[in-house]
Amino acid sequence: MSLSKVAVVTGGAGFIGSHMVDLLLERGYQVRVIDNLVGGRLENVQHHLHDPNFVFQQQDLRVTAPDDPIFKGAEYVFHFAGIGDIVPSIERPAEYLSANVMGTVHALEAARYAGVKKFVYAASSSCYGIAEVPTNEDAPIRPEYPYALSKYCGEEAVLHWGLVYKLPVMSIRIFNAYGPRSKTTGAYGAVFGVFLAQKLAGMPFTVVGDGTQTRDFVFVTDLARAFLCAAESDRSGEIYNVGAGNPQSVNALVGHLGGEVVQVPKRPGEPDCTWADISKIRSQLGWEPKVSFEDGVREMLRNIDYWREAPVWNPASIQNATKTWFAMLSDKNQ
């Protein structure tokens, strides 16, 4: 009989979740993944399918019963399942609140029923909106669009289950995650996927505004380590920002990737800078980012074929895809 610890990863076939699976298996855990494969891809975990310590269950969390056997005996639950992207959330807010809040509630109830030792939630730094930088965990909450609201409401549910039901919980507010397997959905979204598909197609990079805006890019393997640090710590009820704490400009990214540039209009509701104050997680958990931006970009380029089937965006298609964004948010920050 195996004595290795059991961990459940919701959304484990997705971008960050699949890297969490890799790390847990590497550390000797038995890993059970639950994913509806709407945003996740089975190919992201295919290399583990014959591992006796890996179990995959295709299922939507919103139909998961509290006594679902996939949670039985689990020490930790890492909750990544949910839906992302800004524009679709503006167009379909109810769907986002349902998936990202009620999906979280069902995961919490299953974790509570199973008596897990720690539930670690993947929150979003988008809850801060346009914040002062560097941004610490006590910064005002100002969601700018329904995706941000849904992730923040999910976090509130997690903390509430910790308060009312004494479920040990943690929340990790993720800044600008990047790395191999980042999503390639049809929605216009994260800059890395957009740029890598454009590079493969020999198209110019569509830089928003003048490209001087900066983002706190954090590499996905560093993120996975932060989640494991949180789970294995003796702390509970805490919120941690996780970024690299070292913002990089979009122009710097273009310089590393190499290619021509075409500018597209700056979008409302987007900050000029995201910058995580990571002093809390450093001091309390001893976590440090290890992957430099330069090394991370090189790793992305080594894995560039992953984005060969991704949508290739140009100024016209971006304008069409972001019409709702401009229509709904343009007057909001005047």
The residues assigned a catalytic role are: 147
Q: How far apart are the C-alpha atoms of 68 and 271, rounded to whole Å?
A: 41
> Running DSSP on this structure, what letter comes out for residue 264?
E
Nearest in space to 225 (alpha carbons), one of 136, 292, 288: 288
Token match 């943690």: residue? 170
User: DSSP readout, 22-69?
Assistant: HHHHHTT-EEEEEE-SSSS-GGGTGGGTT-TTEEEEE--GGG--TT-G
- Nearest-Å Rg of the Cα atoms of the chain is 19
**Residue 89: exposed, middle, or buried by beta-carbon count in 10 A (0-12, 13-18, 19+)?**
buried
Q: Positive or negative, the Cα torsion across 34, 39, 76, 119? A: negative
**Residue 33: exposed, middle, or buried by beta-carbon count in 10 A (0-12, 13-18, 19+)?**
buried
User: Reduced to 3 states, what is the DSSP secondary structure of residue 13?
Assistant: coil
User: Cis link prior to 311 (omega < 30° from 0)?
Assistant: no
Q: How far apart are the C-alpha atoms of 242 and 302, rounded to whole Å?
A: 25
- Bridge partners for 262 per DSSP: 206
